[in-house]
Copies of this chain bind each other. A is one copy, B any other.
């Protein structure tokens, strides 16, 4: 499996230079090397320099793992994600912004996308790294937050209701209202919704926002106009298709997230419908892909990077033992109007109820 390359003198683990080797090379004990590395007092300046020279020459660097095992503090913060996709990587960017200058390093750990395999990925991953590899962790979009964990942990965009765990989330209710109100203002009254996963709080709130916006505008909710998209491309497309093939199809669709909004675009295209001419579409999230669609979609923006930023700030405070000013901040959402929305062909005040 591995050919003999060069002398394998005093090599143990692959190619790694260990403290052992540095000590041997420098003619001192490992503890002395350790002291030099960590700048502890009690080392003759002459010895210090000699050991330092050897360290540099051998290119030694302490193993994060061994150090972690020994120390309780690691100065590393973990970001646990189910997968590296648009949302979580945006959170990561925000986390990186916040970590600067704190002295912490960032480790992002992913289940490799095999999420549905075990629902409890967050708990398992937490156990794997907390207390050893990292001093604290940010959980991105966990589906369960009842992790009974004493350690410093903050959840970002949790998919379940409030819990003991500090969380950072966007205002899903307000956001959904914004999106639907935009459609109402354009003159739409027959507005369909491709809903999210019913088990997730965020999806429930978005649906509630939809209902509330309609109610406030005095538009009755037609239950036939709600189809389940489950936050997911395939189901989203089927849902949009079902809505558009209704005898009296909606003139606008509010999708629970951008992924299903994109799917709605596809469904519309396949049915020969022009967006926004025949159909207006509003999404949710504002992932980068939403701006690149044809047409670019109007969507409700979550301040994703900010969420990552704030989560790290909270976590750092938690690790420092500070009390959190706010344990469940809700960040504002905003509407980003692009080109997937326009007034309906048949405004409500003209020929209501007419077929197309």
Measured CB to CB, the closest approach of chain B to A131, in angstroms, equals 4
Q: Could you tell me if A64 and B15 are in contact, using CB atoms closer than 8 angstroms?
A: no
Q: DSSP class of A's interface residues: helix, strand, loop or mixed?
A: loop
Q: Which of A1-59 contact B (CB under 8 A)?
A: 1-2, 5, 13-17, 59
Q: Which of A74-91 contact B (CB under 8 A)?
A: 83-86, 89
Other-chain residue from B17, B127, B129 in contact with A127 (beta carbon distance below 8 A): B17
A345 touches B (CB below 8 Å): no
Q: Could you tell me if B128 and A62 are in contact, using CB atoms closer than 8 angstroms?
A: yes
Q: Could you tell me if B15 and A61 are in contact, using CB atoms closer than 8 angstroms?
A: no
From A65-73, A204-212, A233-241, A244-252, give the one contacting chain B. A65-73
Q: Which of A285-336 contact B (CB under 8 A)?
A: 288, 291-292, 321
Question: A5-B150, A150-B14 are contacts. A133–B93 as well, Cβ < 8 Å?
Answer: no
Chain B residues with Cβ below 8 Å from A86 are: 93
CA gap between A61 and B111 in the complex, in Å: 14
Measured CB to CB, the closest approach of chain B to A10, in angstroms, equals 14
Give A5's nearest chain B residue, CB to CB: B150
Count of this chain's copies in the oligomeric assembly: 2
- Considering only CB atoms and an 8 Å cut-off, how many residues of chain A contact the other chain? 59
Q: Could you tell me if A89 and B100 are in contact, using CB atoms closer than 8 angstroms?
A: no
From A101-109, A221-229, A346-354, give the one contacting chain B. A101-109
* Residue with the highest number of chain B CB atoms closer than 10 Å, among A124, A149, A150: A150
A132 touches B (CB below 8 Å): yes
CA gap between A211 and B149 in the complex, in Å: 60
Question: A2-B321, A100-B114, A106-B112 are contacts. A16–B130 as well, Cβ < 8 Å?
Answer: yes
Q: List 14 A-B contacts (CB under 8 A).
A: A14-B151, A15-B151, A61-B124, A61-B128, A64-B133, A65-B132, A84-B96, A99-B112, A105-B109, A105-B110, A107-B107, A108-B109, A288-B291, A288-B292
- Taking A84-B89, A102-B112 as known contacts, 19 extra A-B pairs with beta carbons closer than 8 A to each other, sorted by chain A number, are A5-B150, A14-B72, A14-B130, A16-B130, A16-B131, A61-B124, A63-B69, A65-B68, A65-B69, A65-B133, A66-B69, A84-B93, A84-B108, A96-B113, A104-B112, A105-B111, A105-B112, A106-B112, A291-B292
